[in-house]
Amino acid sequence: MKMLLPFVAVMALAAAALMAVNVANLHFLFGVIIPYIAFAVFVGGFVYRIVKWASSPVPFRIPTTCGQEFSLPWVKQNKIENPSTAAGVIIRMALEIFLFRSLFRNIKAELRDGQKIVYGSDKWLWLAGLAFHWTFLVILVRHLRFFVGDVPMCIAALEHLDGFLQIGVPMLYITDGVILAAIGYLFIRRVLLPQIRYISLPADYFPLFLIAAVVISGILMRYITKVDVVGVKNFTMGLVTFNPVIPATLMQGNGAFFFLHVFLISALFAYFPFSKLMHMGGVFMSPTRNMINNSRMVRHVNPWNYPVHVHTYEEYENDFRAKMKDAGIPVEKE
């Protein structure tokens, strides 16, 4: 049920979009109003989550470390795994964001012979995660050509590099196949591994199914059903300039698949700030990653500590010196 309910929800969203466009002719609702609302929810929710995380108090240094910290001069420090400078933190964050360095380790633990724990690597997970995120980014950047008048040279070069195999017409993009393979691996891994399946929730399956639906609908629209690309360009430019116009070519024939694609993307954007997908912004706000481990070099005082008057020993002795002498207790001052 944890997997079936999200699958049914995504299928219901797709069916609702197709029926609304084909039967009720709600092209303006699903092509203009819903995308605007979804984008507003995405921006507002994203900013809200970042501001909320940024305002959370973190008075102490709590970076996650797995290497030698800065200590004596003759002890070699691991400047990336246990950074004591801002430069070390920047390098560590960059390796984590762009290369998923924390996954490129022995992160898999198994209990063998009933009592022995053996650690091993899970490089396939690292490779699938890296392929998924990078291809998703490339596809997102490649779609920017629909939202600008003159396509920038960098986007054109990226598009040419993505389709350098030049298989068929239209050009086959490498990222389309890679992202499908990565999504398939992540799904199969979550289903087949008992430990992962046990801790998986519907919130883990739903974004996976939704992203897969977005990718599949886009691939079908590009290679099989075909839509009017010029009409799509005019439509997206109208959205960007807040002068939305739905071309007639998109309101007939296979144009419904375009509105299905747009609606699924809108659902993903609206769902994004309230899901685990927010790790895209949360990784920058994680104190276990973005803090310098300099607790032994700098004394950090909790700014949220309630001011408490400390009764020092000198004050204590001044108050009870006579009684301490009568009891035979030694005092520092006569």
Residue whose token pair is 């104190």: 287
Residues 6+ positions from 7 with CB-CB distance below 8 Å: 205, 209
Q: What is the mean pLDDT of residues 20-37?
A: 90
Residue 319 lies in a domain: no
* Confidence (pLDDT) at 261: 93
CATH number of the domain residue 51 falls in: 1.20.950.20
Residue 194 lies in a domain: yes
Sign, Cα dihedral of 29, 141, 154, 166: negative
Q: Which amino acid is at 120?
A: G
Residue 151: count of CB within 10 angstroms of its CB:
12
> What is d(CA 66, CA 135) in angstroms, rounded to the nearest whole number?
30
Residue 313 lies in a domain: no
* Confidence (pLDDT) at 167: 65
> What is d(CA 179, CA 190) in angstroms, rounded to the nearest whole number?
17
Residue 20 CA: distances (Å) to CA of 46, 206, 249, 256, 333: 29, 22, 17, 9, 90
Domain that includes residue 43, residue range: 4-308
pLDDT surpassing 70 at residue 310: yes
* Confidence (pLDDT) at 216: 94
CA angle, residues 98, 104, 105, in degrees to nearest 5 = 145
Tokens matching residue 262: 């747009």
pLDDT in tens, 76-101: 999 998 999 999 999 999 999 999 98
pLDDT surpassing 90 at residue 107: no
pLDDT in tens, 142-187: 999 898 888 888 888 888 888 877 766 677 889 999 999 999 999 9
Q: Average pLDDT, whole number, for the chain?
A: 89
Residue 330 lies in a domain: no
pLDDT in tens, 50-81: 999 998 888 888 898 888 889 888 999 999 98
Residue 196 lies in a domain: yes
pLDDT surpassing 70 at residue 272: yes
> What is d(CA 181, CA 93) in angstroms, rounded to the nearest whole number?
27
Number of domains in the chain: 1
Strands (DSSP E) along the chain, which ranges? 108-112, 116-120
Helix (H, G, I), strand (E, B) or coil at 22: helix
Residue 262 CA: distances (Å) to CA of 62, 179, 246, 258, 305: 42, 19, 13, 6, 50
Cβ 293 vs Cβ 61: under 8 Å:
yes
pLDDT in tens, 285-308: 999 989 999 888 888 887 777 888
Residue whose token pair is 């209990």: 111
| Predicted TM-score (pTM) of this structure | 0.83
Least confident of 5-14, 85-94, 323-332: 323-332
Q: Which amino acid is at 301?
A: V
Tokens matching residue 56: 């959370």
Cβ 283 vs Cβ 97: under 8 Å:
yes
pLDDT in tens, 12-27: 999 999 998 888 888 8
Residues 6+ positions from 111 with CB-CB distance below 8 Å: 117, 118
- Which residues are bridge partners to 116 per DSSP? 112
Residue 318 lies in a domain: no
Residue 317 lies in a domain: no
Residue 215 lies in a domain: yes
* Confidence (pLDDT) at 169: 65
